[in-house]
Amino acid sequence: MDKSIRKSMGLLVLVSLAVMTTACTNNHDMTSSAGSIAQAEAKFVEAHPIQLKSFQSTSELSGTLAPMEETTVSFEVAGEIKSLPYKEGDTVKKGDVLARLHSTDYSLQLALANANVHGANAQLSKVKNGAREQEVQQAKVAVEAKKISRDQAQKDYQRMEQLYKSGAISETEFESAKHAFELAEKDYAQAQETYSLVKAGARTEDISATSASYQGAMVTRDQAAATLAKTEVKAPIQGTVLAKLADVGQLASPGAPVYRIGNIHQLKTILPVPDKDISSWKVGDEVEIRLYEEKRTGKVTNIYPATNEQTGTISVEVVIDNTKKDWFAGQVVTAKRTLSQKKGIFVPAEAVFSRGSEPYVFLLTDGKATKTTVTIGQYVDNHFEVTSGLQAGSMLITKGADRLLNGDSVTVKGGNQP
């Protein structure tokens, strides 16, 4: 074969190799492009296997601390304040004198009332005991004297009557004698009555009236004593002085507060419990109470009998021990309590959708998203309870599901690979 023919055949082989190379390159590019398109159509998601879980339903509420027992004390009478010996933070016992008024005027009123009682008592004794023997004798002597005067007036009258009939005296003289006799007779009768009363003693009515006067004097005396006692204010409970509300020298009015005291060895807080949860609260239940980073255990002592119409809550009173008095009235605390514990299928809230239809989720099945209708129960800790529609072990698409349609191809890039 000559040289030119061999050269032509070499070029043909080179062209064929070039064509084959080009064809192979084109086929590889086409295959790569198809794969890229398919890869672009698959949506990236995150999926996890469905498991049975136990969730606790907890209640977190807040309230303000207050003394277990608290009262405001004030004077019941007016006057100038003489002493206020206690200050904020002092501990007082029940019955301690917290404050005093200047009491001179009230002491004088009591002294006068005592004097009136003594006088009324003496008068009552006199009435009950009757007249003394000397008084009876004097009354008897008076009767005898009046009788002598009456008898003499009677004789004069009889004599003047004879003279008048004989014309020896005028009618005027006769009338004067007659009037003198009548007057003497009345005096004698009055002396007899007085003697009879003195001898018989006081009547029942007089004794009753005098006794009533004595009782009235005693009541007035007791009132004066009670008023004097009210110039002191005593602690009605054992506790701590929370506030001093007056000053020495100030003119106190009845009812104006001077101290506020409370028992802070125990504190209480009122928690606003939603009425849907109130069945889970019972008197005696323990509650975790937190103040900043410190936690204590409180106890439910009272559940109020009515719902607050404005908030739809029921007040629950919780008592906390405060022996060291290191928690203070007015501080805000939070209360945490487990209401219930339930086991079931719980899925993240972001995996559940409801676009004008029943709730649904997407399951991962053979590389595709499968829309699955579910029934929702309670909401706990950002999870929905699924009561029907799912089974443990199925792969649930938890992220990226908001971009899916039923049957979409998906690629798992997070969670657990199927």
On whether both 118 and 50 belong to a single domain, the answer is no
Structure tokens at 348: 């993240």
**Mean pLDDT lowest for which of 43-47, 202-206, 265-269?**
202-206
On whether both 121 and 206 belong to a single domain, the answer is yes
In degrees and rounded to multiples of 5, residue 302 shows phi and psi of: -160, 140
Instruction: Please tell me the predicted confidence (pLDDT) of residue 35.
Output: 42
Q: Which residues pair with 274 in a beta bridge?
A: 313
On whether both 124 and 271 belong to a single domain, the answer is no
What HEC string does the chain produce?
Answer: CCHHHHHHHHHHHHHHHHHHHHHHHHHHHHHHHHHHHHHHHCEEEEEEECCEEEEEEEEEEEEEEEEEEEEEEECCCCEEEEECCCCCCCEECCCCEEEEECCHHHHHHHHHHHHHHHHHHHHHHHHHHCCCHHHHHHHHHHHHHHHHHHHHHHHHHHHHHHHHHHCCCCHHHHHHHHHHHHHHHHHHHHHHHHHHHHHHCCCHHHHHHHHHHHHHHHHHHHHHHHHHHCCEEECCCCEEEEEECCCCCCEECCCCEEEEEEEEEEEEEEEEEEHHHHHHCCCCCEEEEEECCEEEEEEEEEEEEEECCCCCEEEEEEEEECCCCCCCCCCEEEEEEEEEEEEEEEEEHHHCECCCCCCEEEEEECCEEEEEECEEEEEECCEEEEEECCCCCCEEEEECHHHCCCCCEEEEEEECCC
On whether both 130 and 169 belong to a single domain, the answer is yes
- Distance CA(198)–CA(141), nearest Å, equals 13
Of all residues in the chain, the percent with pLDDT exceeding 70 is 83
Per-residue pLDDT at 119 exceeds 90: no
Task: Please state the rounded mean pLDDT for residues 132-145.
Answer: 74
For 48-74, what is each residue's pLDDT tens digit?
999 888 776 778 899 999 999 999 999
**Containing structural domain, residue 271:** 263-339
On whether both 247 and 392 belong to a single domain, the answer is no
- Distance CA(208)–CA(195), nearest Å, equals 22
Per-residue pLDDT at 117 exceeds 60: yes
Task: Please state the rounded mean pLDDT for residues 42-46.
Answer: 87
On whether both 277 and 359 belong to a single domain, the answer is no
Of all residues in the chain, the percent with pLDDT exceeding 90 is 50
- Distance CA(181)–CA(354), nearest Å, equals 129
Q: Which of 199, 225, 251 is the last residue of a domain?
A: 225
Instruction: Please tell me the predicted confidence (pLDDT) of residue 168.
Output: 82
Comparing 274 with 121, the larger pLDDT belongs to 274
On whether both 83 and 142 belong to a single domain, the answer is no
Structure tokens at 214: 């004595």
For 251-270, what is each residue's pLDDT tens digit?
999 999 999 999 999 999 99
Comparing 415 with 246, the larger pLDDT belongs to 246
- The structure tokens 């989720």 sit at 361
Comparing 222 with 343, the larger pLDDT belongs to 222
pLDDT range class, residue 22, cuts 50, 70, 90: very low
On whether both 208 and 133 belong to a single domain, the answer is yes
Instruction: Please tell me the predicted confidence (pLDDT) of residue 357.
Output: 78
On whether both 213 and 140 belong to a single domain, the answer is yes
pLDDT range class, residue 209, cuts 50, 70, 90: confident
For 150-202, what is each residue's pLDDT tens digit?
899 899 889 888 888 888 888 888 888 889 888 988 988 888 877 776 665 55
On whether both 221 and 239 belong to a single domain, the answer is no
The Cβ of residue 373 has, within 10 Å, a number of other Cβ atoms equal to 11
- The total of structural domains in the chain comes to 4
Sign of the Cα torsion 158, 159, 161, 162 reads positive
pLDDT range class, residue 330, cuts 50, 70, 90: very high
Per-residue pLDDT at 243 exceeds 90: yes
Q: Which of 292, 321, 339 is the last residue of a domain?
A: 339
On whether both 85 and 188 belong to a single domain, the answer is no
Per-residue pLDDT at 3 exceeds 50: no
On whether both 113 and 182 belong to a single domain, the answer is yes
Task: Please state the rounded mean pLDDT for residues 364-376.
Answer: 92
Confirm if 320 and 268 have CB atoms less than 8 A apart. yes
- For 7, 8, 310, the CA distances from 1, given in Å and listed in that order, are 10, 11, 112
Comparing 242 with 339, the larger pLDDT belongs to 242
pLDDT range class, residue 30, cuts 50, 70, 90: very low
Instruction: Please tell me the predicted confidence (pLDDT) of residue 416.
Output: 57
> What is the domain-level CATH number for residue 88?
2.40.50.100
